[in-house]
Amino acid sequence: MPLRVVGVDPGLTRCGLSAVDVERNRSAQLVAVKVVGTASSEPLDQRILAIADAIDEWLDTHRPDAVAIERVFTYTNVSTVMGTAQATGVVIAAAARRNIPVALHTPTEVKAAVTGDGRADKATITAMVTRILKLDAPPKPADAADAIAIALAHAWRGAAPGSLAAASSGAQSGMTAAQRAWAQAQAKAGSTGKRAEEARLRALVKRSAR
């Protein structure tokens, strides 16, 4: 039974949403992805409400085992930071109401997990997401690819229930059946599988750069 992770690239202007199923052998399948957004000319309360409604619908439709959100890291634009933080709070609250575990991952963590390079650019992330999920076409816009990458990063490297780190630490209390199965499989696979996957990703990055 796969682990379903909803990945969120938060923002008020554009908010990327994904739902990804990840198998015990670390293979993944895209369930759905979209980008929702609001106009900067709209009142703030209406913008937040629109994002909240979209998140509620997404979680109720896809019923994930975990929610992964890109963490606010560093921006020079204060308004961008505020919008990202506000959208992040909306997502966390929506997940909490449904008792869904939430984890936040920095952009560097996401890039490293998906491409093997914590400094990868958006084009590389999009290319790797397309390869990993065997998509017919790259997900667009970039917010869509980012949301998928966040979900993958959580499943492969996150610290919340159902992720590899949680399996290694034995933190299985309160997990769903899917999360427990995932954790047990990851623990059995051990670090050998992780190293092999990282080597495979590095090889893919090198081929993409040619």
Pick from 110, 113, 116: nearest CA to 142:
110
Q: How many residues are listed for the chain in this entry?
A: 210
Active site residue 136: no
Q: Which of 21, 65, 70, 109 is catalytic?
A: 70
Active site residue 143: yes
Q: Which of 9, 21, 65, 109 is catalytic?
A: 9
Residue found under tokens 């059946």: 177
68 in helix, strand or coil?
strand
Active site residue 23: no
Using a 10 angstrom Cβ sphere, with 0-12 exposed, 13-18 middle and 19 or more buried, the burial of residue 86 is middle
- To the question of whether residue 9 is assigned a binding role by annotation, the answer is yes
Are 145 and 139 spatial neighbours (Cβ–Cβ below 8 Å)? Answer: yes
Q: Which of 21, 65, 109, 143 is catalytic?
A: 143
- To the question of whether residue 143 is assigned a binding role by annotation, the answer is yes
Considering just the CA atoms, what is the radius of gyration of the chain in Å? 16
| d(C-alpha 41, C-alpha 47), whole Å | 9
Are 73 and 118 spatial neighbours (Cβ–Cβ below 8 Å)? Answer: no
| d(C-alpha 116, C-alpha 127), whole Å | 13
Which amino acids are annotated as binding site, given as ranges? Answer: 9, 70, 143
Please give the positions annotated as active site. Answer: 9, 70, 143
| Binding-site residues from annotation for Mg(2+) | 9, 70, 143
